Amino acid sequence: MKKLLLFLYAISLYATTNIVVSYENKATYPYYTKPNSKQLGLAIDALKSIEKKLDVKFIFVREPGVRGLKKLAVNKVDLLLFASYNKDRDKIAVYPKKNGVIDSSKKSMELGYYLYTLKDSNLSWNGKEFLNLNGKIGTTRGYSIIKFLRKLNIDISESNSNEIDILKLLKHRVVGVVNQSSKIDLYLKKHPEIALKIKKVYPAIQKKPYYIIVSKKFYKNHKKLAIQIWELMKNLDTNPNYKKLREKY
């Protein structure tokens, strides 16, 4: 019996670590595509490519971003793709840090929030404030841009998806939509008839680095592994290790 227990213990030391990864059930192109797409996305391909190197198995779960954050907070998932930094998330998850400060060199990518409005609208953004704003701004529930808009005292209409945001704009239920360009640009590209009615307003309202964040339990039990993942998954847009993967998208 003693020999058997020692054998089982030895096996456990070298067993592949399963890591549960939560990511949105909406596309953020090219990092991850829509559910059931043939191509999974650059971020998913990149994670799969480092499984052997780290001796891990990533188990992917697609779900609304808000649900993923809640599950990460109670250690029901190990990693979440992707989150910008804010103090509330910092309380429930672990970001890559250096000397107690967020380490922006470990960001996976940078995304911008832009204003979208109808072609004949005179609503604009000058880099500091909205001009000719007469109505509500639509955005997707759970996104970090909401706090920023509220600080500007903007009347916000939240929805559960990027597509609903655009439909509300077309039906004049909002006068503009503020959302991630990676999501809205892809949607408009796939729906050219809708793109004809909508314009993207420059400059960006916000540009933010986005990180893989990990649960506190996972970080406590696998700190070295978390640090390796942050290092290997940094700067997906320019990382030479993923050049061939980027060419797919």
Instruction: Decide if 114 contacts 202 (C-beta within 8 A).
Output: yes
For residues 10 and 103, membership in a common domain is answered with: yes
**Rounded CA separation 112/146 (Å):** 14
Strand, coil or helix: 58: strand
User: Could you write out the three-class secondary structure of 91-119?
Assistant: HHCECCEECCEECHHHCCEEEEEEEEEEC
Tokens 């096996």 map to which residue? 11
pLDDT tens for each residue of 78-95: 999 999 998 999 999 999
- pLDDT for the residue numbered 11: 42
Please give the DSSP secondary-structure letter assigned to residue 16: P
Regions of the chain with pLDDT less than 70 = 1-15
Q: In which element (H, E) is residue 159 found?
A: strand 156-159
What CATH number is associated with residue 35?
A: 3.40.190.10
Tokens read off for 10: 């030895």
C-alpha radius of gyration, the chain, whole number: 20
For residues 201 and 232, membership in a common domain is answered with: no
**Rounded CA separation 207/112 (Å):** 4
For residues 31 and 88, membership in a common domain is answered with: yes
For residues 163 and 200, membership in a common domain is answered with: yes
Instruction: Decide if 120 contacts 178 (C-beta within 8 A).
Output: no
For residues 118 and 56, membership in a common domain is answered with: no
For residues 127 and 183, membership in a common domain is answered with: yes
Q: Give residues with Cβ within 8 angstroms of 221, minimum separation 6.
A: none
- pLDDT for the residue numbered 15: 65
Q: What is the DSSP string of 59-84?
A: EEEEE-HHHHHHHHHTTSSSEEEEE-
For residues 154 and 193, membership in a common domain is answered with: yes
The number of distinct structural domains making up the chain is 2
Q: Give residues with Cβ within 8 angstroms of 143, minimum separation 6.
A: 65, 179, 180
For residues 100 and 10, membership in a common domain is answered with: yes
Side chain identity at residue 242, one-letter code = Y
- pLDDT for the residue numbered 2: 55
Tokens 């697609």 map to which residue? 62
HSE, side-chain direction, 13 A CA sphere, residue 75: 6
**Rounded CA separation 135/126 (Å):** 18
For residues 28 and 145, membership in a common domain is answered with: no
Tokens read off for 79: 């990693």
Question: In terms of residue numbers, what domain contains 129?
Answer: 112-208
